[in-house]
Amino acid sequence: MTKLNYKEKIPNNVDLSNDLSLQRALEHWQPKFKSWWTEMGPEGFQTSDVYLRTATSVDADGWATYGKVKMPEYRWGIFLNDKVSDRKIHFGDNIGDPVWQQVPGDYRSILRKLIVTQGDTEPASVEQQRELGKTCPSLYDLRNLFQVNVEEGRHLWAMVYLLHAYFGRDGREEAEGLLERNSGDIDNPRILGTFNEPITDWVSFFMFTYFTDRDGKYQLKSLAESSFDPLARTCQFMLTEEAHHMQVGETGITRMIQKTLEVMNALKSDSIDAIRNAGVVDLQTIQRYINFWFSSSLDLFGSEISSNSATAFANGLKGRPDEMRYKDHSEKNNSFTFEGLSLENTLVEQTIPMRNAMNEITRRSYVTDCEIGLKRWNRLIKKAGYDIIFTLPSTRFRRNIGIWAGIDSNPEGIIITKNEFDSKVNSWLPSEGDKEFIKSLMVQVTKVNKTAGWIAPPSRGINSLEIGYEYVELRQ
């Protein structure tokens, strides 16, 4: 058998060629990943040359190169941020001890679960987005979709590396499972709800990259604090790539709003029918899409009161995003007070141990981060002379996980009856009619320098190239 130069085959900075059994295990997994990509990855365009960035180093400047590549030939690699010498555990019960380079036996299963849950979301989103190429609003957007997709593929590699390198046989089995579960599959779905929601239009895609990739950012930030050093370092590097995904979401939504406002000004009207007839998305419908994807993403943080999150924090496995911002990193004797739910389903002030509130604390940081985009969009609307204001719904609205699951609340967070909820749901969440309308706007535009009518062209190109650059070279 020819000896493979593994450094060439799987780009990495983990010295793979010096660990033959790990090398072999990943070698065995690689063709499975490739066939998953072909079957479940982007539909079509697999032979097109796409202008993609590829991670090539972990240096802050110049960590990636750009160039045309066919997606199946993308260099999915394993990149961890550099080791910080003498790094110490900085939260939980073991503060001051050296961080772990191996998995402590006691924490093995909880750590494996954290890695598998994170790993499962990465290929899930690629599956959710696989049809979107057929309705891309421009070549620029098509390229961004594929950039997000290949990087989610790389994030899967990042988690699979940890499973293979540190969890032996169980880890290898979990790595197989990551390719076997599929988004929306009735018998074998992805682990978390949002990652089984179909993303069949670009409004949903931009909402997903804005709201759900941002959940990813907060999960990665929490894991980047981990005392299990390889996990911390791999998540730190993933965050570098993740920023672009959220930017795709934010600029996509911005461009959609810009186009709507342009049309409203031209029509001198805010009539929803007139706006829709002109082929753009009315702001009310955009608000309903915000409500849907934001509320769905809130569930990803888990229950407000969580003993699992307390354990993960106490053990030093998962911290708070930007842990160093907080004063107390043990939080053993502290409490957290919030507006919870009484036995009679009314709002009541509740006090719980701080460590049990870690999910809620992380969720709150996330909500604050989500608000930044809304403020920007509201400024655009105001500047155009309209008094519509986008808002994030209450964190009690439409929850399926945690203390608010099954509680009917309006977007302001007031608890209401199920009848009232059902009678108003179509003004709060995308209705079948809204989805039909959005679908009618989704036409594929692949001419250089052209953009679909429902969204403004991008304001700048990628990596200093012009907007009209041929970001994807289509092949028959």
Judged by the rule CB under 5 A, the positions of this chain that interact with Fe ion are 122, 152, 155, 213, 216, 242, 245
User: Do residues 52 and 61 touch, judged by C-beta distance below 8 A?
Assistant: no
Which CB atom, from 244 or from 363, has the smaller least distance to Fe ion? 244
Q: Which is nearer to Fe ion, 91 or 161 (CB)?
A: 161
Residues 175 and 158 sit within 8 Å (Cβ to Cβ): no
Q: How far is CA 465 from the centre of its chain?
A: 26
Q: Closer CB to Fe ion, residue 155 or residue 288?
A: 155
A 10 A CB-CB count for 162 gives 27
User: Which residue type sits at 58?
Assistant: V
Which of 464, 475, 352, 457 lies closest to 140 in space, CA to CA? Answer: 457
> What is the H or E stretch that residue 434 is in?
helix 432-441
CB 380, CB 258: distance < 8 Å: yes
**Rounded least distance, CB 254 to Fe ion, Å:** 18
CB of residue 244 to Fe ion, shortest distance in Å = 8
Closer to Fe ion by Cβ: residue 155 or 320: 155
* Least distance between Fe ion and beta carbon 158 (Å): 9
Q: Are 224 and 235 in contact (CB under 8 A)?
A: yes
118 or 303: whose CB is closer to Fe ion? Answer: 118
Of 107 and 293, the one with the shorter C-beta distance to Fe ion is 293
* Contact criterion met (CB below 8 Å) for 182 and 127: yes
Question: Min. distance of Cβ 35 from Fe ion in angstroms?
Answer: 21
Q: How far is the CB of 147 from Fe ion (least distance, A)?
A: 10
333 Cβ contact partners less than 8 Å away, ≥ 6 residues apart: none
Least distance between Fe ion and beta carbon 248 (Å): 9
Instruction: Kindly tell me which of 107 and 366 has the beta carbon lying closer to Fe ion.
Output: 366
DSSP structural state of residue 472:
E
Query: End-to-end alpha-carbon separation of the chain, Å?
Result: 36
Q: How far is the CB of 247 from Fe ion (least distance, A)?
A: 11
